[in-house]
Amino acid sequence: MNRRNFLVHFVRLFFAGLFAAVCSVIFYIFPSTGRPKSIRYFYLMEEDDLPRKGVRKIDFEYSGEDRTMASRVYLSASDSGLIAFSAVCTHLGCFINWDHNKKEFLCPCHGGRYNAKGRVTAGPPPAPLTELPLEIKDGKVYIGMKI
């Protein structure tokens, strides 16, 4: 290999490495989300069992395309209406718990706190709890999940 061929190979390798590094940075900043998620509704409970006041935890299962998943939601009922929240903390994804005495959601992982409307009151969570849509049909309550 003469000097000219060595330089040509070196320049090609340099630009190939540079291209790979730029692609890695782009994929890191804008990760692929795969196919877009759509909201599907799953049976949650009978309408008569909905809480009229206070917060209730509900564990349920729902089926995706190829598997059954377990999930947990909270229903928060007040004079201003009923709200359904995902029980997943918006910081790093731990399950939150409702503290009946303090009247707030507490995250056991890093001390995140949310009020009964799901808004952050303390700690590191960057966003309020995720509200989930509810639909009532023929006396049955369905909850919308993005899958």
Residues that bind ligand FES (CB under 6 A): 89, 91-92, 94, 107, 109-110, 112, 123-125
**Count of CA atoms in the C-beta half-sphere (13 A) of 98:** 19
Measured from the CB atom, is 44 or 107 closer to ligand FES? 107
Measured from the CB atom, is 58 or 88 closer to ligand FES? 88
> Which DSSP string do the residues of 1-66 spell out, in sequence order?
--HHHHHHHHHHHHHHHHHHHHHHHHHHHS----SPP-EEEEEEEEGGGS-SSEEEEEEEEEE-SS
Measured from the CB atom, is 108 or 133 closer to ligand FES? 108
- Sheet with 97-99: list strands edge to edge: 97-99, 104-106, 113-114, 120-122
**Shortest approach of ligand FES to residue 93 CB, angstroms?**
6
Measured from the CB atom, is 106 or 116 closer to ligand FES? 106
**Shortest approach of ligand FES to residue 90 CB, angstroms?**
8
**Shortest approach of ligand FES to residue 87 CB, angstroms?**
11
